[in-house]
Amino acid sequence: MENKSKKLKAKDFITIGIFTAILFAVEFALGMLGYIHPFIVASYVIILPLASGIPMMLFYTKVEKFGMITIVSVLLAIIMFVGGMGYLGAPLIIISGLVADFIAKSGNYKSFKKTVLSFGVFNLWICSNYFPILVTAESYRKDLIDGGFSAEYANNLFAAINVKTIGILVVLCFVFGCIGAVIGKAVVKKHFEKAGIV
Amino acid sequence: MRLDPRTKLFMVFVVSLIAMMSATTPVLWVIRIIITLIPIVLLILEKKYSSALRFFLAYGIALVLLLFFISENSEGIIASLLIGYCGIVVQFMPALITAWYVIRTTKIGEFMSCMQKMHIPDGIAVSLAVVMRFFPTIKEEYSSINDAMRMRGVMLGGGNVLRMFEFRMIPLLFSCVNIGEELSAAAITRGLGGETKRSSLIELKLGLADYLLMAFLTAATVIFVMYKYFL
């Protein structure tokens, strides 16, 4: 494995595509819950890292080359844009992916600690989707109400996500990212290494 | 009617942009509805009648409910569920319909050739193409896994959320990984990742319809932004 080229090849691009699709499918399924109550929107920082830990940990072991996480984040940014999540968050998504990539690289994509840390950082992309809510708070609120949401929903959303709570959300996101990574690693070990997939 | 993939991508971009800026006045709503109708009309032109009808009904019903029956002050559980449902549909349906249209009517060869013409790096183009192709596969695999689980009597994992999640996620990952192996084998035999520049069988050319549609979309965006932010 060591002698293999460090550059991404066609096969890796396909793997990246597949795992991005899975990641997004998970995110999409859970994201729909957010319309029930705004507090669920805030709790994405807990739910999403835990749920996406398993596929992402499998992904980390499948490619192990620099650029893999960056490309995932670029694709996520594109999908988020098309999905109407706003353009403000897109650069942040890519930055978190790039930083995560560097951290994982420093551990050669093998070190357990670095991988966990890297996944924690990668999960900050979830927070970047809150970014428009913070920066354009006033107009966002008006848009929500005019756009058909009830005032109740908007009020709750801003009670859950505002400038004061964003710090907590970011920290939670990171912590649960790490926990998700540990769980993901354990699950990958339990199921996939036994089966010889990794 | 054949549209150039570049026009389709531009359409996705414009529709997402307009869906993102929420409509607040009647003029804006009109533009938004027109923009949503375009992909539906295009679907009809491509003879995909049933999906066009489905999208039209789903969007129409949600829109009518949202505009006439739900107000700022609605409260209570049914209203909030209804708001949730209609909110999702009205907010995301335009982009969804467009994306669906583009994915269904663009051949992967066309897409790659278009990406090459726009000088998008290969890595992103290939990965994006795979993502585009993979959503239907995930859905298919998931529903067969679900069937298999139900046949063996694993209903909702015995009420345990974690098990329920595990029993569906792990098989899904297994089959996705296997499909990925096959996919890359197939792609590499066709010369993906080779040293030389790839040539394409499909010559892309912008036609009259492309220019008209692009001009129309640009105009719609400009009018939308003007009415929203400057008037």
Output the pLDDT for position B157. Answer: 52
- Tokens encoding A115: 């991988």
What mean pLDDT, rounded, does chain A reach? Answer: 81
Residues A112-169: tens digit of each pLDDT: 888 888 998 998 888 877 777 777 777 777 767 666 666 777 777 777 777 777 888 8
Give the number of other Cβ atoms within 10 Å of residue A194's Cβ: 10
Which chain B residues contact residue A7 at CB under 8 A? none
**Average of per-residue pLDDT across A169-180:** 89
Interface of B with A in 150-209 (CB under 8 A): 165-166, 169-170, 172-174, 176-177, 179-180, 183-184, 187-188, 192-193
Alpha helices in B106-207 (DSSP H): 108-117, 122-151, 161-189
3-state helix, strand, coil in chain B (%, to 5): 80, 0, 20
Output the pLDDT for position A146. Answer: 64
Residue A1 binned pLDDT confidence (cut-offs 50, 70, 90): very low
* Nearest-CB residue to B75 (from A79, A82, A150): A150
Output the pLDDT for position A178. Answer: 92
Q: What is the ipTM of this complex?
A: 0.80
Output the pLDDT for position B71. Answer: 59
* Nearest-CB residue to A82 (from B16, B129, B134): B16
- CB atoms B80 and A67 under 8 Å: no
Q: What's chain B's Rg over C-alpha atoms?
A: 21
Output the pLDDT for position A3. Answer: 42
Positions in chain B whose pLDDT score sits under 70: 1, 22-23, 69-81, 83-84, 154-160
Output the pLDDT for position B73. Answer: 57
Domain-by-domain residue ranges, chain A?
A: 10-192
**Average of per-residue pLDDT across A87-113:** 85
- CB atoms B138 and A21 under 8 Å: yes
Q: B193 — alpha (psi -120 to 50), left (phi > 0) or beta?
A: left
The answer, for B121 touching chain A at a CB cutoff of 8 Å, is no
Residues A12-33: tens digit of each pLDDT: 888 899 999 998 888 888 877 7
Interface of B with A in 79-108 (CB under 8 A): 79-81, 83-88, 90-92, 95, 99
**A96 burial level (CB within 10 Å; 0-12, 13-18, 19+):** buried
Q: What's chain A's Rg over C-alpha atoms?
A: 17
CB A17 within 8 A of CB B134: yes
Residues 6 or more apart whose CB falls under 8 angstroms from that of A141 comprise A154, A158
Do you know the residue count of chain A? Answer: 198
CB A192 within 8 A of CB A58: yes
Number of H helices, E strands in chain A: 11, 0
Q: In terms of CA atoms, which chain B residue is nearest residue A52? A: B169
Output the pLDDT for position A24. Answer: 87
* Segment holding B220, helix H or strand E: helix B208-225
* CA–CA dist B165, B42 (Å, integer): 38
Residues 6 or more apart whose CB falls under 8 angstroms from that of B79 comprise A150, B70
Termini Cα distance of chain B: 37
Domain-by-domain residue ranges, chain B?
A: 1-107+205-231, 108-201
Which chain B residues contact residue A195 at CB under 8 A? 174
Residue A84 binned pLDDT confidence (cut-offs 50, 70, 90): low
Residues 6 or more apart whose CB falls under 8 angstroms from that of B164 comprise B156, B157
Give the number of other Cβ atoms within 10 Å of residue B98's Cβ: 26
Give the number of other Cβ atoms within 10 Å of residue B24's Cβ: 16
Identify the three-state secondary structure at position B2. Answer: coil
